[in-house]
Structure 1
C-alpha cells in the first residue's frame, strides 16, 4: 500500500462520517497522558485519542561501485520489500 493512497482513503472516510479536517504539520506530541496533546507548526494545540506516526522510508545506498553494478540483480535497498530477508 502506498502512503499517499492510504492517506487519501483515510481522509475521505473521515470526511464521510463528518470529521472536521485540519491541515497542519505536527511539531510535537505529548504522550504522557490521554488524550494526547499535539502541537502544530501553526501554534495551534490539538487533542487526540490516537496518533498515527508515518515517517516514510527511502533507500539508503552505501555508495559502493558494486551496488550500481548489481542493482536489480540481487542487490536492493527497499525496506518494505526486503524487510523479511
Structure 2
C-alpha cells in the first residue's frame, strides 16, 4: 500500500490556515488595544491638565507671584509643566 500526502501524515494545510487565522485575530486585538491605550492616555492628560488649571486658579495672587507667574499666565504655565512630563 502506498502513502501519499492526501492519505497519510499530518494535515499541515488546516494547521497553517488556523495559525494564519489566529495570527490575524491577534493582530486585530493588538490594534484595538493600541487604540484604546492611546485614547486612555489622551484622557488622562486632559484630566491632569484640568486638575493643574484648577489648582493654579485656586491659588492666591501672592502664591502665584511666589512661583513667578501672574493669573493670566496660568494656561501657558500649565502647558509648560505638562510638556516637561
Of structures 1 and 2, the larger Rg is shown by: 2
Could you tell me the TM-score, scaled by structure 2's length?
Answer: 0.26
Kindly indicate whether structure 1 or structure 2 has the higher relative contact order, using CA contacts under 8 Å at least 6 residues apart: 2
Higher helix share: 2
What TM-score does the superposition give when structure 1 sets the normalisation length?
Answer: 0.26
